[in-house]
Amino acid sequence: MFAPAPQRRTHNLSTPIDRMLAPVHRWIWRNRERRVQKLLRFGETETDGGRDLLRAAEVTADPLLRRLYLVHAADEQRHGQLFRRRAASLLRGAPADAQPWPGEGWIAPGGHGLDDLDVGSESDDTMLAFLHVAERSAASRFAVYRDVMQFDPATRGIFDDILRDEMFHMNYTLTQLVRVSPERHRPRLWRARLSRLWKAYLRVASALAGVIGTVFLTVQYFVVLPLFAWLAKRTGAREPIGWIAIAPERNQATSREY
């Protein structure tokens, strides 16, 4: 449908931050279990993104955008299938008791993050701005994944394949945004970028809050609780052992309830 872009054009897609994090990404992807989990998660994100694009094609009044959204939705559906199939073939050789990696939620999801979007309430320009920012981010991340994946040529090939589609998505969304909103496309893009940044901050902040909560509860359990246990034990040691005689004024016949 669309001619694949030459590989050299996908080389400068990654942002400096993603390039800086390349060793972290390499470490994450090198582990087979983590790779399976990430691929499954990507598969889900891409398929969800495809569904949101179908909804966007339904609600837009622009015939050209409708056609492009439908092509885009089919691409995302295909990406989801590619990720899931690769995860399934890796899973066949993985141990059954693989545990999810606890740091998974810290780093932004590698896909498009369209799940945060209420498609029905977006106008054409805000939708295109959000899509462009999300596609650019996905292309940047996928370019780094492809580059660090020398140890798994099959998965690397999938990222390389998908990257070509992401470049098309990134470019058409910007071209269409300029077409539908020639005056206000820059503010729309900045709004989409800031909204994405805010969501990234919330994601990191909630993960950090989880870690801080765990540290505080652990300190309470091992430092504060033993102190209370020691005080209770000391008070208990001062109590006389066995039956205690009741004072005569309290030791009357049980003729009434109190």
Contact call for residue 166 and Fe ion (CB under 5 A): yes
Query: Which of 164, 169, 188, 196 is in the footprint of Fe ion by CB under 5 A?
Result: 169
Contact between 79 and Fe ion by CB under 5 A: the answer reads yes
What is the size of the binding site for Fe ion (CB under 5 A)? 6
Nearer to Fe ion, 18 or 46 (CB): 46
Q: Give the Cα separation of 227 and 223 in Å (integer).
A: 7
Shortest approach of Fe ion to residue 216 CB, angstroms? 40
Here's the x/- map for Fe ion, 222-251, by CB under 5 A: it reads as: ------------------------------
Nearest approach, Cβ of residue 140 and Fe ion (Å):
12
Q: Is residue 146 involved in binding Fe ion (CB under 5 A)?
A: no
Taking alpha carbons only, the member of 107, 105, 104, 164 closest to residue 139 is 164
How far is it, in rounded angstroms, from Cα 83 to Cα 35? 10
Find out whether 127 and 56 touch, Cβ atoms under 8 Å.
yes
164 binding Fe ion? (CB under 5 A): no
Angstrom distance (rounded) from CA 119 to CA 61: 13
Output Rg (C-alpha) for the chain, integer angstroms: 29
The two structure tokens encoding residue 2? 């669309």
Instruction: Summarize as ranges the residues that interact with Fe ion (CB under 5 A).
Output: 46, 76, 79, 135, 166, 169
